[in-house]
Structure 1
Amino acid sequence: MDAALDALIARFQADYCQLIGADKPPEHRIALAVSGGPDSMAMLGLAAKAFPGRVIAATVDHGLRPESAQESAMVARACAEIGVPHAILRIESPPATRDNVQSWARQARYSLLKRWAMDADAAVLCTAHHADDQAETFLMRAARASGLSGLAAIRARVDSEEAQKKGASATEQHRPLTILRPLLHWRRADLRTAAAAMGLPWVDDPSNNDPRFDRARFRTWLQEAPWIDPAQIGRTAENMAAVDRDVFEISRWLWQSRALEAPDRESRFDVAGLPRGVKRYIARLAIDAIVEGSGRGAGSWSYSSNIEPLLDALEAGGSATQSIVLASAKGTIWHFREAPPRRSH
C-alpha cells in the first residue's frame, strides 16, 4: 500500500472519529449506503480499510433504469472481494405519476437503508455526500429563497434524538441510528482518485448530468465557475447549521414554556413578542407533533417543508392548512389541530 493511499485512509479515519467524538477507532458496526458511483465506492474502500471488520454495506435498486440491477451486482461483487457483507435493497412500489421522481427515490432509499441498518444493529449509517454535493445543495436552496434551516444544507451528523424532535417515525424513535456524512470535506475529484487507487470499479449515473434536473444544472454551473470554492460554501453551510441548532433549541424551550391548555392532539401557543424566525420553528414543531400522532400525512410533510404562506396567514390573524394540520390565529394565540378529512366527490 503506497503512502498516498495510507494518507487517504488515515484522513478518512480521522474525519469519521471527529464526527462521532472519539479519539480512537470505534467498536460499533458501521453501515454504508453504496450506490456504485465513484463517491460511495471510495467511501466503501476507505471505510473497509480504516475500520476492518466493522463495516457492512447496502445498495438500493430503485428499478428506474435497466442498468440498476447490474450496478447493484457490481457493488455486491466488490464488497465480496474486500470482505464486506452486502445487501441489495429493492423498492417494490413505483412512484405515483404526480411524484417528483428524485424526491420519491430519496425518501424511499432512506427508508429502506435506515430499516436495514437498524435491523443489522448498526449504530451509524454513512452516506457519501461530499463538498461538491454540499455546494450544489446550498446554491439550489439559496436560489429558492430558503431560510436558515434550508441553507444549513446537508448535515454532517443527524442523531436519533434530533430526528425525533424533527418528526422521525415511531420505529426510528425507539431504535437509535446516527446518520453520518464523513466525506463533506472531500472533493469529488479526491474521491475518484481514492477509488482508482484502491482498484475499485464504479459507474456514473447519467442522471447526474441530465439538464432536466436542478442539481445537474447547478453542477454544470459550478464546474464552469472554478473561481467558486465549494469548500468555502460548505463552511458557510456548517455555520448556518450551527445557528440553526441553537435557534431550534431556544424554540423548543419556548414551544414548551409558551404552550397553553389544549385538547389531545392539538396545540395552542401564545406567540406574543416572538420574532418570526422563532415562530417558524414553533409552528414546525406543532405541525410535526400532530402529523406524527395522527399517522396521516407523513408523505406530504417534512420538517424542512416551506411554511412561509402559513406564517403569513397566522401573522395576519387568519388560518391556513399545512399537510393535515389546520392552523389558526386569534390575536397572539396560535392554535394547531388536525384538519378534517376532505370530502370525496
Structure 2
Amino acid sequence: MQLSDQAARFAADLAALWPEDERQGRALGLAVSGGPDSLALLLLAAEALPGLIAVASVDHDLRPEAASEVALAGRIAAERGLPFTALKVQLAPGNLLAEARAARYAALARWAGEAGLGAIATAHHADDQAETLLMRLNRGSGLAGLAGVRPHSWIDGTDVTLLRPLLGWRKAELAAIVAAAGIVPAEDPSNTNPAFDRARIRAALAEADWLDPVQIAASAAHIAEGWQALQWYAELDWHEMVLREDSDAGAPGFSYCANVPRVIAIETILRIIRELGGHATRAEAARAWERLWAGENASLGGVLAVPGVERVEKVGVPMRVWRFRPEPARSLN
C-alpha cells in the first residue's frame, strides 16, 4: 500500500526512534486524549502501521467533559478497527498537574504491560517543545530541564519505552490532518487559561511571529545531546572517583575525589545519596556541593557529607575528598 506523504514522514520519524529490529512484531500503544494533536497521531499511525497499533485514553476525572473526550477517542479508534482501552485514574493530593501526569503515565505503563505493547507514543510536537523550553528558561532551570521532553525515554519507574515521534511537527500541521479527516476534536479549556504558565507562553509565542517553534525545539534537542554527554561523564566520574568505604561497624559509606566541574559533581552526589538509600533533588545537591566546596559539612537526604583534602595515591597529588555516611540517628532526649 502506498502511504501518503504525511504517513511516510511519520513512519520515518518513528523508525528513527524505534527501529524495525527493536519492535519484535509488537504493537505501538498510542496515548490519545481526543484533542487535535493526539487524534492526528492516531490517524498517522493507523495509516503507517496498519494492524500494529492500540489506543488508550485516560480520564483524570478532573472535568465534566473528560468522559465525552475519552468516548470521542474510542469512537475514532473503533471506526478504524483499532483496539481501544479507556483508563481512569485517581489523583493523589499535591500539585494537580504533576499528580495528573504521574497517574497518567503509570496507567499507560500498566496498560502497555498487560497488552504486551512494544512502546507507548504520545503526541508532543514542536510547539509543545518550544513552550517547555521557554517556560523552563524563565524559571532558571538547569540543563536537565532545558533539554525538554525527550524523543525517546522510558516511563518513570518502569522499562516501558516512551516515544514522541511528532517533535518535528507543528501543531497547525496536526490540526490540518484532523480537519481533513472531517473530525471535530475536543478542546481542553486549560490550553487557553492564562492561570497556567504554558497557556501564557503559548499566547506569547503566537504573537511573536518572528520566533520559530521548530528551531526552538531543535535547540532543546541540542541541549539534550549535551546533557547526554554530561551523563556519560558523570558515569565515568562515578566509576573512577567514588570508592565504597564501609566503617568498622559495617555501615556503608563512600569517599568521593571531587575534581570535576560542578554540574558533573552534582550528578555524582545524587548517585551517592541514592546508593545510601536517600533522596535529594538537583537543587539540594547543588547547595550541598557549594557547602562542601567551601569546606563545610553538608546534610541531605539522610546523608552527612564531610569535606577534606588528602593526597590521593592513584593521582599522586592532594585532592578534595568528600566522605558520605548515613546521618546518625537523632537523639529523642
With the shorter chain as reference, the TM-score category is 0.7 to 0.9
- 1:225 deviates by 0.6
Which one-letter code corresponds to 1:326 in the other structure?
Answer: V
Aligned to 1:35: 33
Equivalent residue in structure 2 for 1:330, among 307, 313, 322 = 307
Q: Check whether the contact 1:34–1:57 (CA below 8 A) recurs between aligned residues.
A: yes
Q: Check whether the contact 2:253–2:326 (CA below 8 A) recurs between aligned residues.
A: no
1:319 corresponds to 2:298: yes
Aligned to 1:112: 107
The 3 A distance-change label for structure 1 pair 146 and 307 is farther
Cα distance in 2 for residues equivalent to 1:128 and 1:340: 48
- Larger mean CA deviation between 276-285 and 305-314 belongs to 305-314
How many equivalent pairs are there?
Answer: 317
- 1:29 deviates by 1.1
Which one-letter code corresponds to 1:10 in the other structure?
Answer: A
Cα distance in 2 for residues equivalent to 1:335 and 1:240: 32
Q: Which runs of 5+ in 2 are unaligned?
A: 309-319
- 1:313 deviates by 2.9
The 3 A distance-change label for structure 1 pair 340 and 130 is farther
- 1:49 deviates by 1.0
Equivalences for 1:98-177 in 2 at 5 Å?
99-159=94-154, 168-169=156-157, 172=158, 176-177=159-160
The 3 A distance-change label for structure 1 pair 327 and 204 is farther
Cα distance in 2 for residues equivalent to 1:42 and 1:14: 16
The 3 A distance-change label for structure 1 pair 180 and 139 is same
Cα distance in 1 for residues equivalent to 2:180 and 2:63: 29
Cα distance in 2 for residues equivalent to 1:24 and 1:13: 15
Equivalences for 1:36-115 in 2 at 5 Å?
36-92=34-90, 94-96=91-93, 99-115=94-110
Cα distance in 2 for residues equivalent to 1:272 and 1:8: 51
Equivalent residue in structure 1 for 2:263, among 259, 265, 277 = 277
Pick the structure with greater CA Rg. Answer: 2
Which one-letter code corresponds to 2:298 in the other structure?
Answer: S
Which one-letter code corresponds to 1:12 in the other structure?
Answer: F
Which one-letter code corresponds to 1:113 in the other structure?
Answer: L
Cα distance in 2 for residues equivalent to 1:87 and 1:341: 49
**Per-residue CA distance 1:65-123 (angstroms, 9 max, x = gap):** 1111111111111111111111111113x331xx2211111111111111211221111
Higher relative contact order, chain-length normalized (CA < 8 Å, sep 6+): 1
Cα distance in 1 for residues equivalent to 2:51 and 2:203: 38
Equivalent residue in structure 2 for 1:268, among 251, 254, 265 = 254
Q: Check whether the contact 1:314–1:320 (CA below 8 A) recurs between aligned residues.
A: no
Which one-letter code corresponds to 2:176 in the other structure?
Answer: T
Cα distance in 1 for residues equivalent to 2:20 and 2:251: 40
Cα distance in 1 for residues equivalent to 2:100 and 2:284: 20
Q: Check whether the contact 1:157–1:179 (CA below 8 A) recurs between aligned residues.
A: yes
Which one-letter code corresponds to 1:95 in the other structure?
Answer: A
Q: Check whether the contact 2:245–2:255 (CA below 8 A) recurs between aligned residues.
A: no
Identical pairs, percent: 39
Cα distance in 2 for residues equivalent to 1:231 and 1:65: 31
**Per-residue CA distance 1:44-64 (angstroms, 9 max, x = gap):** 111011101110111111001
Cα distance in 2 for residues equivalent to 1:235 and 1:339: 44
Which one-letter code corresponds to 2:52 in the other structure?
Answer: R
Q: For 1:117, what is the secondary structure of its paired residue?
A: helix
